[in-house]
C-alpha cells in the first residue's frame, strides 16, 4: 500500500529565549524523523511530554513548515492547511452560538459547493455517524464533554478528508467516556476508511486504537520504534480486549521502551549537570 503520509528526515527547530541570559537560541524539537502512514491505516503516536507529538500534527496539518526534510500527503508536499486533512484537538473548539448541527454545517459552508439543503442533510448524516442524531439542535453548553468531542469529530469528517489528525482528542474526558469514544472511533474508521493519525500519551489508548504504534523519544524528538499491533479484535475476547494477556504484553512492551528512554534521559541530564 502506498504511503498517504510521508515524513522524511524531518527536523523542526524553534527560536527560544534562554532562561538565564535571555539570549535567543535554537531549540531542536524534531530531528531526523521518518514516518510513513499507509492509506486507510490508524496509527497512534505515543511519547513523553514535549517530545514533539503535536509538532508532527502541526506539520501534517500544514499549520507549520518543517525546518528541514519533507512532509508529503498523497505524494504532494504540504504547503498549508487543506480540506484533505481534518484536525481534532483536545479542546472542543465549537462555536458556542451554533447548535451541533450548525457547527458541522459551518465546516461544510467553508468547503463550498453544496446547497443549503445538501449541507443540512450531510451534517445530519455525520451527526448520526457519531451517534448524536438526536442532539443536532443542542448548543455546545447543553452537551457533555464527550458529546462536544463527537461533534468536533463529525465536523472534521463531514468534508470527507482523506486524513484525520487527532491530537489527544479524548485527553480531557473521564475514563468511561474515553473508552466508549475509542470504540466509536474504531467503528467510524472501519466505516469510512479514513487514514487516522492519533496522538496520545496514554499507552492503553495507543494499543487499543493503533494498528501500529509509533513510539517517540525526546530531545530531539524522533520515532524510536514502530510496533505492529496484531490483536484478535474479532475473537471471543473482543468484548474486553484490554483485559487479554496479548493486550497487556503490547502495553508492557511500549511502557518498557518509554521507561528505558526516560531513565537514559535522566542520566544524561545528571551527567550534564555534574
Ligand atoms: N512555537 C514554538 N516555539 C518554541 N518552542 C516550541 C514551539 N512549539 C513547540 N515547542 C517546543 O517543542 C517541543 C515539542 O512540543 P510538542 O507540543 O510538539 O510536544 P508534545 O509531545 O505534543 O508535548 P505534550 O505531550 O506535553 O503535549 C516542546 O519542548 C515545546 O516546548
- How far, in Å, is the centroid of ligand 1 from the Cα of 125? 36
Residue 196: predicted pLDDT: 96
Residue 236: predicted pLDDT: 57
CATH no. for residue 173? 3.40.50.300
Q: Is residue 260 part of a domain?
A: no
Q: Is the peptide bond before 220 cis (omega within 30 degrees of 0)?
A: yes
- How far, in Å, is the centroid of ligand 1 from the Cα of 56? 10
Find out whether the beta carbon of 50 lies less than 6 Å from any atom of ligand 1.
Answer: yes
Residue 1: predicted pLDDT: 46
Which residue has a Cα nearest atom 12 of ligand 1? 29
Cell representation of residue 41: 491505516
pLDDT at 141 > cutoff 90: yes
- How far, in Å, is the centroid of ligand 1 from the Cα of 28? 10
| Placement of cell 445538501 in the chain | 118
Confidence of residue 120 (pLDDT cuts 50, 70, 90): very high
Q: From CA 61, how far away is CA 261, in angstroms rounded?
A: 28
Find out whether the beta carbon of 29 lies less than 6 Å from any atom of ligand 1.
Answer: yes
Overall number of domains in the chain: 2
- How far, in Å, is the centroid of ligand 1 from the Cα of 232? 35
Find out whether the beta carbon of 148 lies less than 6 Å from any atom of ligand 1.
Answer: no
Confidence of residue 3 (pLDDT cuts 50, 70, 90): low
Name the residue range of residue 104's domain: 94-160
pLDDT at 238 > cutoff 60: no
Which ipTM value was assigned to this complex? 0.96
Read off the pLDDT of residues 150-187 as tens digits, 9 standing for 90 and up: 999 899 888 888 999 999 988 888 888 888 889 888 98
More confident residue, 113 or 37: 37
Lowest mean pLDDT among 180-189, 230-239, 250-259: 230-239
Q: Is residue 268 part of a domain?
A: no
> Within this chain, do residues 141 and 193 fall inside the same structural domain, yes or no?
no
Mean pLDDT, the chain, integer = 90
Q: Which of 135, 160, 185 is the last residue of a domain?
A: 160
Up-side HSE of residue 2: CA atoms within 13 Å toward CB? 6
Residue 65: predicted pLDDT: 96
Amino acid at each position: 500500500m502506498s504511503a498517504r503520509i510521508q515524513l522524511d528526515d524531518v527536523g523542526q527547530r524553534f527560536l527560544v529565549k534562554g532562561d538565564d541570559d535571555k539570549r535567543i537560541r535554537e531549540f531542536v524539537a524534531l530531528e531526523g524523523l521518518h514516518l510513513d502512514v499507509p492509506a486507510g491505516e490508524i496509527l497512534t503516536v505515543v511519547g513523553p511530554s514535549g517530545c514533539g507529538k503535536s509538532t508532527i500534527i502541526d506539520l501534517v496539518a500544514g499549520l507549520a513548515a518543517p525546518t528541514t526534510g519533507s512532509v508529503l500527503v498523497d505524494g504532494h508536499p504540504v504547503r498549508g492547511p487543506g480540506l484533505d486533512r481534518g484536525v481534532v484537538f483536545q479542546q472542543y473548539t465549537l462555536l458556542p452560538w451554533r447548535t451541533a448541527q450548525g457547527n458541522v454545517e459551518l465546516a461544510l459552508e467553508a468547503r463550498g459547493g453544496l446547497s443549503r439543503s445538501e449541507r443540512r442533510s450531510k451534517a445530519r448524516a455525520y451527526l448520526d455517524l457519531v451517534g448524536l442524531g438526536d442532539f443536532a439542535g443542542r448548543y455546545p453548553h447543553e452537551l457533555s464533554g464527550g458529546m462536544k468531542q463527537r461533534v468536533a469529530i463529525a465536523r472534521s469528517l463531514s468534508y470527507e478528508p482523506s486524513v484525520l489528525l487527532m491530537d489527544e482528542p479524548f485527553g480531557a474526558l473521564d475514563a468511561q467516556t474515553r473508552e466508549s469514544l475509542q470504540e466509536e472511533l474504531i467503528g467510524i474508521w472501519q466505516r469510512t476508511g479514513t487514514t487516522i493519525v492519533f496522538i496520545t500519551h496514554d499507552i492503553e489508548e495507543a494499543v487499543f486504537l493503533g494498528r501500529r504504534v509509533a513510539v517517540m523519544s525526546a530531545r530531539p524528538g524522533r520515532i524510536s520504534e514502530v510496533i505492529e499491533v496484531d490483536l484478535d479484535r474479532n475473537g471471543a475476547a473482543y468484548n474486553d480486549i484490554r483485559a487479554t494477556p496479548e493486550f497487556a504484553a503490547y502495553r508492557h512492551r511500549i511502557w518498557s521502551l518509554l521507561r528505558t528512554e526516560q531513565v537514559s534521559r535522566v542520566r544524561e541530564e545528571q551527567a550534564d549537570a555534574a
